[in-house]
Structure 1
Amino acid sequence: MKPKSGFSRVLPYYHRYRAQLILNLTLVAVLNSCVTLIPLLTRQLFNFNPQHWDLYIAWLAALAAAIAGMVFCSHRTIRTGSQLGAHMETDMRRDLFAHLQRLGFSYYDRTKTGHLMARISNDLSTLSSTLHQLPADLLSSILSLGGALAVMFWMNWQLALVALLPLPAAVWLGIRSKHRFKQHSHRIREEIGQINTNVENAVMGIREVQSFANEQLQMAGFEVINRRFCEAKCDFAETIARYAAFMIGFMRVHGVLLAVAGSLMYVFSGLSMADLLAFVMYARFMLAPIERMVNFSEQYAQGVAALERFSDILNIEPEINENENAVAPEQVVGRLEFEGVSFAYAQTGSPVLQDINLVINPGSIVALVGESGAGKTSLASLVPRFYDVSAGRITLDGVDIRELPLHWLRRQIGVVQQSPFLFDDSIRNNIAFGRPDAGEKEIIEATRQANLLDFIDSLPDGLDTIVGERGVMLSGGQRQRISLARVFLKNPRILIFDEATSALDNESEQRVQDAINRLFKGRTTLIIAHRLSTVKHADLTCALRNGHIIESGTHQELLAAQGYFHRLHHQGAL
């Protein structure tokens, strides 16, 4: 599919709210009609004939009606435009968030969280303001400029030509400045993303910062980024200031030029005072689009930059594609097979796994061991298709996992991370994340299976206790057991378990281990192992080195072989 860019990306949002857009533009048209009538009606009042009071009152009433219409339409235009922008922003943020949910791990491996936060919050807010104002401002500018010029030429074409003379210079400057505004806006948005990333890292790592007494180091790093942002803003301000100064000077010169030409015509050509007054008013309306351009230029530049970044993300195709003809099997036995599997991360291109051949029988426990960087986590990440193989294939019950529905496949697999992630929510909702439609009894049963019930009963708010950001209010053992309860509730046929390397106190260790042993029963289990006790109970242990399985067998068989596994064992790596 051809990537969309520019305004072709946002046209569907305009179409979705076309009724509100049409109403907004209709109000803009009526508003400009009222504005165009006001100088004409004022001119008629200046041409007052004392013998026709009834006509004077009629003109006065018409002027009052035009002013009232202008006030009413101004209110409605602002309200409908703001509502249009709010709806478009809501939909764009939803679509962007939904797209981010579909992107694979590779995208997040190379993208900073702070930049994404800037895109989904600041950028969309700026973009929506630009999008809802742009059609109204464009139509208003065309109508006010066109209406003013039409009446001015009708009244006095010579003076109208004088009013038109400086306009090409203003248009030329606006076009010339557009590219410069865009560059500055891109730079500012990038610096905002860097600030967000820096703040996020500092807040998430505040315990490390304070424990190492590195507050000044963090402050120094932040000051550099903050100063760059300040410089970007100042450079943009300088460009805007030059543009605004020229435009303001242009408007003043334009007014003086029109006043001089008008006064000469008044003296020598018989131009009436009423016509001159109307001309001055229309000249002001003619300059309104230029004044609007000055005030809107910075926001427009930022909006265009935000639109490009919004389009850039939506144009990224998910790396994990689903087969349109995929059919979910009626039942899962749980037999996994790796057939000549090789894998390389897109960022580096260097092979991480090479020619992996492995069979994991239903209900068996397979442990992966090896030094850091051997490929254990990469191998496990291929099963739920967090990444796709570069060569070979992985089958589940004889079917290539790429031929299975992606959502269905991941529902069959439970993943327990080495450092479990908990949402800043209640214990109940963190556990229910494993299966959102689960009932109260099922959640309680999952807590019992994970050895959490006594702990939850001791809390004043029980399951409704808020765990804090990333579970900061809980101990390491409690966080692990909540993550286990989440998987118990999901009840998958296949389990991927990245064993925690951090030590717990004896009681917590025993509770966690009991829950883990219970979780392993009857499930096809792939363990990234770090402890000897885990390897001893595995049905098969595979030793990885530099992306290859160099040894496999039971614990005793591998020790007896006196090979790589034996060396790891005696070095204390297990």
Structure 2
Amino acid sequence: MSNRELLWRFGLLIWPYRYYLIPAFVCMLILAGTNGAIAFLVQPILDKVFIEQDRVLLANMPFIIMALFLVRGIVYFSQIYLMESAGQRVVRNLQVRLYGHLMAMDLAYFQANATGNILSHVTYDTNVLKASASSMVSNLLREGFTVIFLMGVLFYRDWQMALVSLVGLPLAGVLIYRFGRRIRRLSQTRQELMGTMTSHLEESITGQRIVKAFCMERYERARFRLINRTIMHNMLRSAKVKAFSSPSMDLIAGFAVSAVILYGGQMVMTGQTTTGAFFSFITALLMAYDPIKSLTAINNQLQESLAAARRLFAVMDLQPSIQDRADAIVLPRMQQSIHFEQVSFHYRSDLPPVLQEINLTIRAGERVALVGHSGSGKTTLVNLVPRFFDVTAGTIRIDGVDIRQVSQRSLRSQIAIVTQDVILFNDTVRNNIAYGDRARSEEELRQAAQAANALAFIEAMPEGFDTVIGDRGIRLSGGQRQRLSIARSLLKNAPILILDEATSALDTESERLVQEALERLMEGRTSLVIAHRLSTIQNVDRIVVLRDGRIVEEGTHAELLAREGEYARFHFLQFQQQEYATTGQG
């Protein structure tokens, strides 16, 4: 994406806030005009007041100068406030749009990108652009207008001397271009490093239990120091470029001023111009010096902003691979079956398939368990039902309708999911259970909690249903988190239920309470169950055994044991492990 295209898209981003920007531009124009007026007044002050001793002008000049500075103060405040208002609104709108876009992305995007990089887009990159939307744009225009007005004074006083003052301009342009290109490259690298650092912070903070259990605090600190040192070196290189740009401009400016003094002094000595006109020219030239230096610094900041904009727009240009069709229909509540027809799937075309030619029909209300070694495709299979991923080949139908022909919202509203890794939010118990439907009544919440064996521990909390449970439910035990997840699914009352290792990693009592709640949850629902402990699925209607992405067996618990196949071997090995554990404890 070219810089011109980036600037155009950024312009479209700030255009809705033109009612702030246009008055701010007017204020900047007036402010720049006052700078030109100050330089212009040097000539009448010297020639008329001090040399010709014009007492009327002397009496009026203080009022003129005070009026100029009063106007400067008013318009300076106004343009700063207006530009900051526009900048804050731009970054808020950008963050909201970016967040909405991320929420529309499919799971494949989140699996392929580190959490820290995604967070860096929403926080760091948008705030870099915020600087562009307020301070940088205002400084660019204010200093640019100031230079234009002062150049007008220069050419008005003496166009030949003005041309002499521009002798270093081509060299300055070359240096500004080179400095800007270097800053842009360093900024792109730094923004990527910031994403890496955010990822490391997110991983190390959320994984504190493992970090401490394995005594890896020193290792994690060393990793963080390494990332931080790399960022520091990047910023120092950037600072070096910025620091070098200022004296370079000073040298060019010094050469230009020297040339003007030499040329202008000769003109004053020969009577071709007055002392007042010459000092007015020098004043305008020196007043233009700081704005020109500021424009160089602004160019460096612009390059940083362009690097951030390139990253942000690259994300916003991504399209989710799973989208509703233009003619997508609303899926009626499931009544008949879920049918997998010759379904195959791979995550990437260069990887082997995870599922191959799956043919499976699950009747409404039937409870089907999926069994197989790790990596056999169980979780992938259930993830295809809510269209977290689309099939590579074949079709999945609900009541005869291809799920790719229905809206994702109407499909997913019919599916409840309970997983081993329970996702809870840093909110109240009430809002976690009613997630997705905050309008549910108190009685409905209590019934769902009761059915999930969660009501007793909820009522024992300090504020009951209004207790905040902490980030990811950290203030709850594993069994309590799982029961809240079940209560959430009960309240949703979806006809299709997916249970993915829902009773793993629980103690005996917690597993009993969770299993009871799951039995209530599965009543009358079409259930797909993934379970490591075969004892928890013996009462399901059918068991489907997967190996290397293919169905190798299916039947009831008793039927599969009688066949003495894959499932029977699983059962025998697990029974042996349990027997060994019991004997060892005894």
Aligned to 1:339: 341
CA contact (8 A) 1:334 1:494 kept: no
For structure 1, which runs of at least 5 residues remain unmatched after alignment? none
Identify which range, 493-502 or 87-96, moves more after superposition.
493-502
Structure 1 residue 514 corresponds to structure 2 residue 509: no
For structure 2, which runs of at least 5 residues remain unmatched after alignment? 578-586
Code of the residue aligned with 1:287 in structure 2: it is Y
Code of the residue aligned with 1:95 in structure 2: it is R
CA contact (8 A) 2:333 2:414 kept: no
Code of the residue aligned with 2:161 in structure 1: it is L
Aligned to 2:264: 262
Q: Report the Cα distance in structure 2 between the residues aligned to 1:536 and 1:206, rounded to whole angstroms.
A: 37
Aligned to 1:22: 22
Q: Report the Cα distance in structure 1 between the residues aligned to 2:546 and 2:268, rounded to whole angstroms.
A: 96
Offset of 1:328 from its aligned partner? 1.2
CA contact (8 A) 1:434 1:486 kept: no
Q: Report the Cα distance in structure 1 between the residues aligned to 2:333 and 2:297, rounded to whole angstroms.
A: 64
Q: Deviations over 1:126-165 (max 9, x none)?
A: 1111133444344334432332222212211221111111
Q: Report the Cα distance in structure 1 between the residues aligned to 2:528 and 2:379, rounded to whole angstroms.
A: 10
Q: Report the Cα distance in structure 1 between the residues aligned to 2:336 and 2:433, rounded to whole angstroms.
A: 24
Q: Report the Cα distance in structure 1 between the residues aligned to 2:121 and 2:401, rounded to whole angstroms.
A: 39
Identify which range, 172-181 or 40-49, moves more after superposition.
40-49
Aligned to 1:97: 99
Aligned to 1:172: 174
- What is the TM-score normalised by the length of structure 2? 0.93
Aligned to 2:33: 33
Q: Report the Cα distance in structure 2 between the residues aligned to 1:436 and 1:257, rounded to whole angstroms.
A: 75
Offset of 1:347 from its aligned partner? 7.5
Identify the match of residue 426 of structure 1 among 410, 423, 428: 428
Offset of 1:120 from its aligned partner? 0.6
CA contact (8 A) 2:343 2:396 kept: yes
Code of the residue aligned with 1:226 in structure 2: it is N
Aligned to 1:445: 447
CA contact (8 A) 1:106 1:346 kept: no
Offset of 1:255 from its aligned partner? 3.0
Identify which range, 461-470 or 86-95, moves more after superposition.
461-470
CA contact (8 A) 2:356 2:550 kept: yes
Cα gap change, 1:325/1:247 in structure 2, threshold over 3 Å: closer, same or farther? same
Q: Report the Cα distance in structure 2 between the residues aligned to 1:140 and 1:457, rounded to whole angstroms.
A: 62
Offset of 1:270 from its aligned partner? 4.3
Structure 1 residue 243 corresponds to structure 2 residue 245: yes
Offset of 1:330 from its aligned partner? 4.2
- Give 3-state SS (helix, strand or coil) of 1:351's partner: coil
Q: Deviations over 1:314-356 (max 9, x none)?
A: 0110111101211214433152111111111137542111111
Q: Report the Cα distance in structure 2 between the residues aligned to 1:420 and 1:260, rounded to whole angstroms.
A: 79
Q: CA RMSD in A?
A: 1.9
Q: Deviations over 1:420-461 (max 9, x none)?
A: 011112111111114222222222221111111111111121
Offset of 1:203 from its aligned partner? 0.8
Q: Report the Cα distance in structure 2 between the residues aligned to 1:478 and 1:301, rounded to whole angstroms.
A: 51
Q: Report the Cα distance in structure 2 between the residues aligned to 1:306 and 1:431, rounded to whole angstroms.
A: 38
Code of the residue aligned with 2:15 in structure 1: it is H
Identify which range, 64-73 or 404-413, moves more after superposition.
64-73
- Give 3-state SS (helix, strand or coil) of 1:48's partner: helix
Q: Deviations over 1:254-313 (max 9, x none)?
A: 333333333333223443221122112211233344211233244222211110011010
Q: Report the Cα distance in structure 1 between the residues aligned to 2:28 and 2:409, rounded to whole angstroms.
A: 48
Offset of 1:495 from its aligned partner? 0.5
Code of the residue aligned with 1:214 in structure 2: it is M
Matches within 5 A, 1:379-390: 379-390=381-392
Offset of 1:54 from its aligned partner? 2.9
Identify which range, 257-266 or 220-229, moves more after superposition.
257-266
**Percent identical:** 35
CA contact (8 A) 2:434 2:440 kept: yes
CA contact (8 A) 2:86 2:134 kept: yes
CA contact (8 A) 2:39 2:153 kept: no
Structure 1 residue 310 corresponds to structure 2 residue 312: yes
Matches within 5 A, 1:330-369: 330-333=332-335, 335-346=337-348, 348-369=350-371
Q: Deviations over 1:83-142 (max 9, x none)?
A: 110000000000000000000110011101111111111111111111334443443344
Q: Report the Cα distance in structure 2 between the residues aligned to 1:257 and 1:571, rounded to whole angstroms.
A: 93
Q: Deviations over 1:488-546 (max 9, x none)?
A: 11111100110236343333222111110000000011111212223211111111111
Identify the match of residue 545 of structure 2 among 543, 546, 551: 543
Q: Deviations over 1:391-445 (max 9, x none)?
A: 1111111101111111111111001111101111211111111422222222222
Q: Report the Cα distance in structure 1 between the residues aligned to 2:178 and 2:480, rounded to whole angstroms.
A: 61
Cα gap change, 1:164/1:298 in structure 2, threshold over 3 Å: closer, same or farther? closer
After the TM superposition, list the runs of 4 or more consecutive aligned residues in structure 1 that deviate by more than 6 angstroms: none
Q: Report the Cα distance in structure 2 between the residues aligned to 1:203 and 1:331, rounded to whole angstroms.
A: 42
Cα gap change, 1:262/1:433 in structure 2, threshold over 3 Å: closer, same or farther? same
Cα gap change, 1:422/1:331 in structure 2, threshold over 3 Å: closer, same or farther? closer
Q: Deviations over 1:542-563 (max 9, x none)?
A: 1111111111111111111111
Offset of 1:46 from its aligned partner? 1.9
Q: Deviations over 1:29-67 (max 9, x none)?
A: 111112211111232222235674333333442232222
Code of the residue aligned with 2:403 in structure 1: it is I
- Give 3-state SS (helix, strand or coil) of 2:532's partner: coil
Aligned to 1:54: 56
Q: Report the Cα distance in structure 1 between the residues aligned to 2:96 and 2:336, rounded to whole angstroms.
A: 36
Cα gap change, 1:463/1:501 in structure 2, threshold over 3 Å: closer, same or farther? closer
- What is the TM-score normalised by the length of structure 1? 0.95
Structure 1 residue 7 corresponds to structure 2 residue 11: no
